[in-house]
Structure 1
Amino acid sequence: MIPTILVAEDDNAVRQGVVDALTLSGYQVIAAKDGRQAMQYALERQYQLLLLDLVMPYHSGFEVLDALKKKRLGQPVIILSARGEETDRVKGLTMGADDYVVKPFSLRELLARVDAVLRRSTERAVIIEKYSYCHGEVDFDRREVKIESTGALHELSEREASLMAYLVANKGRAIAREEILRQVWELDPKGVTTRTIDMHVAHLRGKLGDVDQTVVQTVRGQGYRID
């Protein structure tokens, strides 16, 4: 899959330069010209990385980042800003940004940062090979569950394995159904019934032997969590 990058930048020349450089490097690009578009696209569009200017009309980059933190946890973000003060860098990174590039920057440096962040986010999703839990073990390479008490093996579908891997990678955090649809199904959650997620979780629990739902926990009003 070719990564899609959202560029939120109100300076026309800077925005076009970044868009051209990313396009020539083989990425798909969505461009937002101000804070209003940035807020809308960041929350509604499907993309793998957001390049976010801090100072924009209508909504600042910090406002967009705050909205992402509430609705799209784990979304990779690189801040682009002329505001290089330490307090701004610390604030941006604390709010969930993955990197911070101070203007003026070279396009070569920016492309290297983009590649590094995308590589890290991809690696985070695939490093889990096995997961042991109270009833047995999940082998993600073989896509199967082994129940310790009986020795039974249950094959996981590709989607079930991806769902389990995402929950395990985010242990201790309640994952909203909308986030699962975006990150595991790669679908826009708007207009998609959440029963899709619930049915897959039910099938997954059955194969895990999770009768009392203590492995894949339902967090009312929030989603699902593995502790």
Structure 2
Amino acid sequence: MRAYLHRWVESAGAQLLVVDPADDGGALAEAMAGRGVHVTWVGTTLDGLVAFGRTDPHAVVVAAGAPGIPADEFVGLIRQHGSPYVIAGAGGADDPTTEAVGPLMLAGASAVTVRPYAAQHLWDLLTHAPRSVAEHATLEVGPIELDATAYAVRVNGARIADLPLKEFELLRALMLSSPGVVTDDELREALWGADGKRPGGNTIAMHVTRLRTRLGDVADVRRIRGRGYSLTVV
């Protein structure tokens, strides 16, 4: 994992890996992003092993009955290579895969959530986990303070109007690297994830322009041609 993403995980939230064949189209990722949690969603436990090694997740949600190697075996394997907080995904009362929740708990899962996943319930589980994400959700750069838990930005102690989600993610990425440079590729990964279609530089530039306006004269977001963007306080 890139040093930038490692800092992002430690300082501003967590990586959440979801192993479930029923992809929700990014709804959970969008809901969790504002809380400082980046979601990687894969459809099989075999893909889950690859994603686990790539993202070093804080927590893993695995659907009982997920295809690939048995879900309980998957849980046992990942717990041999770290101490992620594992949440078993259960279906409704009539879902036959719900019977597989018991073996998941025996293999090392610590909690159960019902599918389809509710962002608020997962957030509650993550904030009460042994490694709570809430303690890593605040950043400060000069007079700017960003709190991912409360989805709030304060300047000189005064809360400013809530930022749109992408601008909030952009500001957090810039603050994490300040006064260093965040490349365009790193910004795309922070704002839109590592997979799927990601917009070009013009979309990033549009969000940067809007963020500059919201921050006013307290900070400077500079474009370093050929490299990326940098945030410095004035």
TM-score interval, normalised by the smaller of the two chains: 0.3 to 0.5
Relative to its length, the structure with more strand (as a share) is: 2
Question: Which one has more relative contact order, counting CA pairs under 8 Å at least 6 apart?
Answer: 2
Larger Rg: 1 or 2? 1
TM-score (norm 1): 0.45
TM-score (norm 2): 0.43
